[in-house]
């Protein structure tokens, strides 16, 4: 198994994107255009003739040394492959990360099982996914009683769906109603680049929920990729939280997509009660880290 390290400009765009597209564990985060918009500086590990690839997103850390990190808007990366993702293959990729990256902090995708006795520290995260290839009535049978009550309440409050929202509208709603803190401005610009690129490709759409005064109280942007619908940008206002706007929005989406061979990806990092109330399954994935500095100093 030959694995080579390539700088961004050395990577064959068509072959890389083809690997991510046809990988058994492909997702939107691995495409080159997504990495360029969100990761900015990155390189890659490539097996053979792009049979497997692994993005390495980096930035300058202490004393200008390079460190690997996980950017905002990029839940997971790791190794993508058209081959079987054995623990041996994953271990070879992790061992191939160049020593120039003095610090490693990256999130692997859910198909990247960690080799035993590895030298990385690990932290477990939780995503939630719901298979929706059945009639809506059957999906609704899996809803919790508390969710059904919340949906009835939202209906009584005359909430209504809003379509044709521009990326700027969603990004500005995010700025107004979230408290992300550090990196918020960069995330604001990156999410717009992603949304416009997705719209250009015809891979997604924006949606929202308004109150009876026609005021937006929740928004989201959905992305179709690898037989999934990714909940990319769910944002809800204080009023929207009180009125169950996010649950109302997801329910409408399930109504319109029920019976299709798709998985709704809630795109979470921790246990999420709303996702579980819809009957979604939990999927674990891991963040790995290592500090190669001597005593963590130099």
Stretch 280-297: mean pLDDT: 85
Note whether 279 and 133 are same-domain residues. Answer: yes
Q: Could you tell me the CATH number of the domain that includes residue 76?
A: 3.40.630
User: In sequence order, which residues have a C-beta less than 8 Å from that of residue 121 and are 6 or more positions away?
Assistant: 288, 289, 290
Note whether 143 and 277 are same-domain residues. Answer: yes
Note whether 132 and 276 are same-domain residues. Answer: yes
* C-alpha dihedral (264, 265, 270, 272), degrees to nearest 10: -20
Note whether 133 and 114 are same-domain residues. Answer: no
- What pLDDT is stored for residue 74 in this prediction? 95
- What pLDDT is stored for residue 248 in this prediction? 98
110 pLDDT more than 90: yes
201 pLDDT more than 80: yes
Among residues 84, 119, 154, the one where a domain terminates is 119
Instruction: Give the domain extent around 219.
Output: 128-283
Q: Could you tell me the CATH number of the domain that includes residue 203?
A: 3.40.630.30
Note whether 8 and 55 are same-domain residues. Answer: yes
Residue 298 lies in a domain: no
Total-model pTM: 0.94
Q: Round to whole Å and give the CA distance between 202 and 220.
A: 16
Stretch 139-157: mean pLDDT: 96
- What pLDDT is stored for residue 298 in this prediction? 56
- The answer to whether residues 45 and 56 touch, using CB atoms and an 8 Å cutoff, is yes
Stretch 177-193: mean pLDDT: 87
Among residues 101, 119, 137, the one where a domain terminates is 119
Band of residue 295 on the pLDDT scale cut at 50, 70, 90? low
From 160, 188, 168, select the one nearest 38 (Cα to Cα): 188
Band of residue 117 on the pLDDT scale cut at 50, 70, 90? low
- What pLDDT is stored for residue 296 in this prediction? 54
- Over the stretch 27-63, which tens digit does the pLDDT of each residue have? 999 999 999 999 989 999 999 999 999 999 999 987 7
């Amino acid at each position: 198994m030959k694995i080579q390290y390539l700088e961004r400009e050395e990577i064959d765009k068509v072959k890389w994107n083809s690997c991510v597209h046809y990988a058994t564990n492909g997702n939107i985060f691995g495409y080159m255009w997504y990495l360029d918009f969100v990761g900015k500086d990155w390189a890659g590990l490539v097996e053979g003739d792009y049979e497997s690839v692994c993005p390495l997103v980096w930035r300058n850390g202490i004393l200008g040394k390079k460190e690997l990190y996980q950017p905002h808007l990029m839940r997971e990366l790791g190794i993508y492959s058209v081959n079987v993702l054995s623990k041996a293959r994953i271990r070879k990729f992790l061992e191939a990360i160049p020593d120039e990256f003095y610090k490693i902090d990256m999130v692997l995708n859910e198909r990247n099982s960690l080799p035993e006795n590895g030298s990385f520290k690990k932290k477990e995260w939780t995503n939630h996914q719901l298979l929706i290839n059945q009639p809506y009535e059957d999906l609704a049978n899996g809803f919790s009683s508390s969710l059904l009550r919340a949906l009835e309440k939202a209906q009584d409050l005359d909430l209504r769906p809003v379509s044709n929202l521009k990326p700027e509208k969603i990004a500005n709603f995010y700025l107004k109603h979230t408290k992300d803190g550090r990196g918020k401005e960069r995330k604001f610009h990156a999410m717009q680049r992603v949304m416009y690129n997705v719209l250009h490709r015809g891979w997604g759409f924006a949606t929202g929920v308004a109150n009876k005064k026609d005021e937006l109280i929740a928004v989201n942007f959905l992305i179709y990729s690898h037989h999934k619908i990714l909940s990319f940008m769910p944002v809800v206002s204080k009023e929207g939280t009180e009125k169950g706007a996010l649950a109302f929005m997801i329910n409408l989406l399930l109504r319109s997509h029920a019976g299709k061979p798709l998985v709704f990806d809630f795109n979470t990092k921790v246990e999420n009660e709303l996702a579980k109330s819809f009957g979604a399954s939990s999927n674990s994935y891991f963040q790995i880290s290592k500090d190669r500095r001597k005593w963590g100093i130099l």
